[in-house]
Amino acid sequence: MENKEKQGMPLLGDKFPEMKVQTTRGMMTLPNDMAGKWFVLFSHPADFTPVCTTEFVAFQKLYPEFKKLNTELIGMSVDQVFSHIKWEEWIQENIGVEIQFPIIADTGAVATKLGIVHPGKGTNTVRAVFIVDDKGTIRIIFYYPQELGRNMKEILRAVEAMQFSDNNKCAMPADWPNNDLVGSNVIIPPATDVDTANERKAKAKAGEMECYDWWFCHRKI
pLDDT value at position 1? 38
| pLDDT score for 4 | 46
Please state, rounded to an integer, the average pLDDT across all residues of the chain: 91
**Per-residue H/E/C for the chain:** CCCCCCCCCCCCCCECCCEEEEEECEEEEECHHHCCCEEEEEECCCCCCHHHHHHHHHHHHHHHHHHHCCEEEEEEECCCHHHHHHHHHHHHHHHCCCCCCCEEECCCHHHHHHCCCCHHHCCCCCEEEEEECCCCEEEEEEEECCCCCCCHHHHHHHHHHHHHHHHHCCECCCCCCCECCCECCEECCCCCCHHHHHHHHHHHHCCCCEEEECCEEEECC
Q: For residue range 54-91, list pLDDT tens digits in order.
A: 999 999 999 999 999 999 999 999 889 999 999 999 99
How many whole angstroms separate alpha carbon 140 and alpha carbon 131? 5
pLDDT at 134: 97
pLDDT reading at 6 higher than 60: no
Task: Please give the residue that has the higher pLDDT: either 145 or 67.
Answer: 67
Sheet containing 186-187, strands listed edge to edge, beginning at the edge strand earlier in sequence: 186-187, 216-219, 210-213
Residue pair 132/34 in contact (Cβ under 8 Å)? The answer is yes
Kindly give the interhelix angle for 81-95 and 50-68, rounded to the nearest 10 degrees. Answer: 90
Burial of 86 (0-12, 13-18, 19+ CB in 10 A): middle
User: Which pLDDT score is estimated for 78?
Assistant: 87
Q: How far apart are CA 54 and CA 125, in angstroms?
A: 17
Arithmetic mean of pLDDT, 144-170: 94
Q: Tell me whether residue 161 is exposed, middle or buried, using C-beta atoms within 10 angstroms of its C-beta: 0 to 12, 13 to 18, 19 or more.
A: middle
Mean pLDDT in residue range 184-196 = 93
CATH class held by domain 19-150: alpha beta
Q: Which of 124-128, 130-134, 157-161 has the lowest mean pLDDT?
A: 124-128
Determine the Cα–Cα distance for residues 93 and 134; give it in Å rounded to an integer: 34
52 counts as catalytic: yes
Contact 191, 215 (CB under 8 A): yes
Among candidate residues 138, 160, 158, the one with its CA nearest the CA of residue 150: 158
Report domain extents, the chain: 19-150, 169-221
The top-level CATH class assigned to 169-221 is alpha beta
Q: 117: pLDDT confidence band, cut at 50, 70 and 90? A: confident
**What are the pLDDT digits (tens) for 7-63?**
568 999 999 999 999 999 999 999 999 999 999 999 998 999 999 999 999 999 999
